[in-house]
């Protein structure tokens, strides 16, 4: 079984049917894949949807993502937040939420699915974690 970790930009692209959404749908549809998301990344998706719509629409979007098979992780133990902090200290331009995404992808030996080239190209090149850009 393959493990994938969706960051907020991937979920927003999926929700808004942006370029690459079909690729993301394929990850989710494959029964041989486990697809994860961290609560902080869900928070980013939630506030994006709430800001551009209503609170109810945001709640329904998160519910829909969990119903189609995304597995929410709430990791925030000491080893986890220290790993996220180490990533943030070294890679200053990466958001804290993305540092949590990277830390969880590493913990789960999952591939981080993203389109955030401006923040994550360098980390992918350095092998900090496995990264796949969907566009």
pLDDT digits (tens, 9 = 90+) for 21-53: 999 999 999 999 999 999 999 999 999 999 999
User: Which pLDDT value is given to residue 112?
Assistant: 98
What residues does 113 pair with on adjacent strands? 6, 132
28: domain CATH number is: 3.40.50.1010
pLDDT in tens, 105-116: 999 999 999 999
Q: How many domains does the chain have?
A: 1
In the prediction, which pLDDT does 57 show?
A: 98
- Domain holding 104, by residue range, is 5-133
Q: List the structure tokens of 2.
A: 């393959």
Give the containing element (helix H, strand E) for 23: helix 21-29
């Amino acid at each position: 079984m393959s493990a994938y970790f969706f960051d907020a930009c991937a979920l927003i692209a999926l929700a808004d049917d942006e370029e690459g959404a079909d690729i993301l749908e394929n990850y989710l549809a494959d029964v041989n894949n486990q697809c994860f998301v961290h609560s902080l990344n869900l928070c980013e998706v939630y506030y994006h949807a709430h800001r551009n719509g209503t609170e109810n629409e945001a709640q329904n979007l998160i519910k829909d993502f969990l119903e189609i098979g995304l597995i929410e992780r709430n990791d925030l133990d000491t080893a986890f937040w220290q790993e996220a902090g180490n990533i943030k200290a070294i890679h200053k331009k990466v958001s804290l939420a993305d540092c949590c995404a990277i830390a969880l992808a590493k913990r789960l030996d999952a591939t981080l699915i993203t389109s955030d080239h401006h923040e994550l190209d360098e980390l992918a090149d350095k092998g900090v974690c496995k990264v796949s850009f969907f566009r």
